[in-house]
Amino acid sequence: MSKKRTIGMLAREAGVGVETIRFYEREGLLTQPRKAAGPRHYDEKAVTTVRYIKLAQKLGLSLKDIGKLQGQLSAGQSFCLSLRETVEAKLVALAAQTAEIIRLQNELDAFLTRCRARDPALPCPIVTELTQLDAAISNSPKGVS
């Protein structure tokens, strides 16, 4: 006979809060057990499901991705293919984010180099440019930007 758990017991065993369990239920990621007399009881599958969700989140998958994959979890080969495709897409997105971070880092480095090279007695060129841009936008005719 499988161990029956209240929502609090499930949350402690899975390492999450009770509100997380309720959120997963509202999102359709975890099936809420039917209520008999007394509190609802969760089975071993619920513990496994919550742990699967947390592991997938640690791998960077969104709840949307997790929900799509969860329906295929017991499908064997098609689950593996879907998981691989999801992880490949995640890697492509991470590569794009990494490239953007590197671009921004280079831009900030160049900015600091320019700031350090200028005469500190002069006004900050960025503030001057932003002030001029703001004035140009404020003085432009409506509809033109």
Is the pTM here over 0.85, yes or no? no
pLDDT at 14 over 80: yes
Tell me what the mean pLDDT of segment 102-109 comes to: 94
**Does a structural domain hold residue 128?**
yes
Containing structural domain, residue 107: 92-140
pLDDT at 37 over 80: no
**Does a structural domain hold residue 117?**
yes
Q: What does the H/E/C string look like for the chain?
A: CCCCECHHHHHHHHCCCHHHHHHHHHCCCCCCCCCCCCCCCECHHHHHHHHHHHHHHHCCCCHHHHHHHHCCHHHCHHHHHHHHHHHHHHHHHHHHHHHHHHHHHHHHHHHHHHHHHCCCCCCCHHHHHHHHHHHHHHHCCCCCC
Q: What is the pLDDT of residue 92?
A: 96
**Does a structural domain hold residue 76?**
no
Tell me what the mean pLDDT of segment 65-72 comes to: 85
**Does a structural domain hold residue 69?**
no
Q: What is the pLDDT of residue 29?
A: 93
pLDDT at 125 over 80: no
